[in-house]
Amino acid sequence: MKSLNNPLVSVLMTVYNREKYIEQAIKSVLASTYTNFELIIVDDRSTDNSLKIAQQFEKEDQRIKVFQNEQNLGDYPNRNQAASYATGKYLKYVDADDMIYPYGLEQLVYYMEKFPDAGYGLCSLDQDKHSIYPIQLSSKEAYQWNYFKSSIFHKAPLSSIIKKDAFSDVGGFSKVRHYGDFEFWHKISLKYPVVLMPHGMVWYRTSEGQEASIRKKNTMNQVKTLNVSRHYVAKFNFYKNSKQQEVLNYKHLKSYQRYLMQQFKRFNFKDIFMSYKVFHAKEF
């Protein structure tokens, strides 16, 4: 599988206390069949040996560049920081506890180069019953696909490849915790087409300490994520005064009610009150 072009890919690895896994993550990138990449590792003030491990690899491969933040930034601000060092056409996040398959970069670049107008691509998607990947979706089609066919905006940064120019154009990730990726896919899809790609390019590790695991256990995070959806659907203006808008409003309300029931079962009345305020705020 060869692309007509051979663009530089900036592989971005954000790190915080991942000494147990970072060596595997780095080695998975270095094993790539696509070799025109730079690996940018940004340590967010780890208190373990993560930085030392990364610096040892930096000595052995000139494609690796290691940075350490002056202070802890947190997940999404650190992703933006890593992107600020990138010089490639594409940004490819591979977190320090995840891995990419040897052919992963090659496939991602191949698919993206077939669609020069696309701003980003999402992989690790279930097979579509009617079309074979890759599929390019316009802004409207992306929202339609996500809300009325199969979710795509839930994907983690690992399952993406992003054009650096498009990333910069929309301002990168917002400085929010837990749902920055969900918000970003909505935001970038307002301006750029997305390319949908199949499974088999990246490997995602699950553990209790991950941001996604924390988000799912916290009702307030879930309500805030729901409000991101409401905000962008309203901003997009595709569904006003339509049956689809009614369906979306119903889905949002049912999700909100489900979150409230979770808190009722835990007698967590403080979160119930805060959830009500957040969900019914005039601006979200």
Mean pLDDT of the chain: 86
pLDDT at 84: 98
Preceding peptide of 102 cis, ω within 30°: no
State the Cα–Cα distance between residues 108 and 245, nearest whole angstrom. 34
The pair of structure tokens assigned to 26 is 């780095």
- Residue where the block lists tokens 């979770």: 262
Identity of the residue numbered 68: Q
Residue 284 has pLDDT above 50, yes or no: no
State the Cα–Cα distance between residues 19 and 226, nearest whole angstrom. 34
pLDDT at 228: 74
pLDDT band for 244, please (50, 70, 90 cuts).
Answer: confident
In tens, the pLDDT along 209-228 reads 555 555 555 656 766 777 77
DSSP class of residue 20 equals T
For the CA atoms of 216, 142, 172, 45, the dihedral, rounded to the nearest 10 degrees, stands at 30
pTM (two decimals)? 0.85
Residue 173 has pLDDT above 90, yes or no: yes
- Residue where the block lists tokens 């147990």: 20
DSSP class of residue 125 equals P
pLDDT at 281: 55
In tens, the pLDDT along 114-131 reads 999 999 999 999 999 999
Segment 140-167 mean pLDDT: 94
State the Cα–Cα distance between residues 38 and 40, nearest whole angstrom. 6
CA 145 to chain centre: 17
Q: How many CB atoms lie within 10 A of CB 177?
A: 15
pLDDT band for 206, please (50, 70, 90 cuts).
Answer: confident
CA 207 to chain centre: 17
pLDDT band for 230, please (50, 70, 90 cuts).
Answer: confident
Among 91, 90, 115, which residue's Cα sits nearest to residue 193? 115
118's CB contacts (< 8 A; 6+ apart) are: 112, 136, 163, 192, 193, 194, 195
Among 41, 34, 71, 72, which residue's Cα sits nearest to residue 59? 41
* DSSP H or E stretch at residue 143: helix 139-148
